[in-house]
Amino acid sequence: MYQFIAGPLVWIAFAVLIVGSMYRIISMLFQAKKDKVVYPYMSLRFSLRSLIHWFVPFAGVNMRRQPEMTVVTFAFHICLICTPIFLLPHNILIYRAWGISWWTLPKGVADVMTLIVVITSLIFLLRRVTSPVVKYVTSPSDYVLLAIAAAPFVTGFLAYHHVLPYKTMSVLHILSGVVMLAAIPFTRLSHMLFFVFTRSYMGSEFGAVRSSKDW
């Protein structure tokens, strides 16, 4: 069972991620083509201006109005993306599979970044429960998606440090990672795929059409 989970099931999850993402992006591009105002409004200049601006912490008005959440949000996304990519055990698996490797995070740094994902996930959860505005727009699926995002980091940390039975936690870590990869194209986690397109369109509309800023 473990061999299947750690082998074919992981490859299936990556296949679902790649094929599903391509399908969603291509579908979006075709739908945008049907709308006569999308492509004509697109401007490389204003698209890049908007993207660069929103990648800079505290550049936007709302970011400055909510500095604590800005720090939490940037920390969460940076650690969520960078930790699994530059984690040494993952790098070893990639090297064994494809014969390629890259720079890896020191053990202590990886632990801190993992804990940042877990802690910021708890902050997001607490905010959804306590903030009336956020709670109003929260659905049960939001809690599920938050759990999906945090689970690989929780189980990976527990497995690496042998807090609970190693093999059990390793299986749960792989399974939670598989679920997260497969869920990306078909849930609200897909915002990581569409962020560039939506931000580019908004930046183009505000900049090229309304002659204003989208922040």
Better-scored residue on pLDDT, 36 or 191: 191
Count CB atoms within 10 A of the CB of residue 39. 12
- The confidence band for 41, taking pLDDT boundaries of 50, 70 and 90, is confident
d(CA 20, CA 16): 5
Whole-number Å distance between alpha carbons of 215 and 36? 25
d(CA 49, CA 126): 33
Amino acid at 172: L
**CATH level 3 topology of 2-20+42-209:** Fumarate Reductase Cytochrome B subunit (1.20.950)
Cβ atoms within 10 Å of 5's Cβ, excluding its own:
16
Look over the chain and give the mean of its residue pLDDT values, rounded to a whole number: 93
pLDDT of residue 215 exceeding 90, the answer is: no
Residue spans per domain, the chain:
2-20+42-209
Is pLDDT above 80 for 2? no
